[in-house]
Amino acid sequence: MQELEDRYKILHEIYDKYRKDHPENSHDSEQICLMWSTNNPPDIIEGTAPFVAIEEAFNIVIEERDSLELYDMTLKEASIRVLELQGLF
């Protein structure tokens, strides 16, 4: 499905950008949580720069519950969730 591949590619670009900000996350496991520090994770992830970038890229709103779910997903799982949030899946 091309839509899923497109979402994955864009998410991976965002993931790469923010993961590189945290040297402790050098292993590329494609876990969304690596866009934040794993040594000092934020108390609140909703509204943080990585999620704002995702919201802007896909014209979606990520609510608190969605942010917590996405945080624990892989890029592939998150790509599916983005399609769901867009009402396309």
Mind listing the pLDDT tens digit for each residue in 51-60? 999 999 999 9
User: CB neighbours of 49 closer than 8 A, spacing ≥ 6?
Assistant: 18
Q: At what angle do helices 75-85 and 49-58 cross, to 10 degrees?
A: 50
Contact call for residues 37 and 20 (beta carbons, < 8 A): no
Q: What is the pLDDT of residue 27?
A: 86
CA atoms of 75 and 46, how far apart (whole Å): 17
Binned at pLDDT 50, 70 and 90, residue 73 comes out as: very high
Domain residue spans of the chain: 2-85
Query: In Å, what is the CA distance from 51 to each residue of 2, 28, 47, 48, 67?
Result: 23, 19, 6, 6, 8
Mind listing the pLDDT tens digit for each residue in 28-55? 899 999 999 999 999 999 999 999 999 9
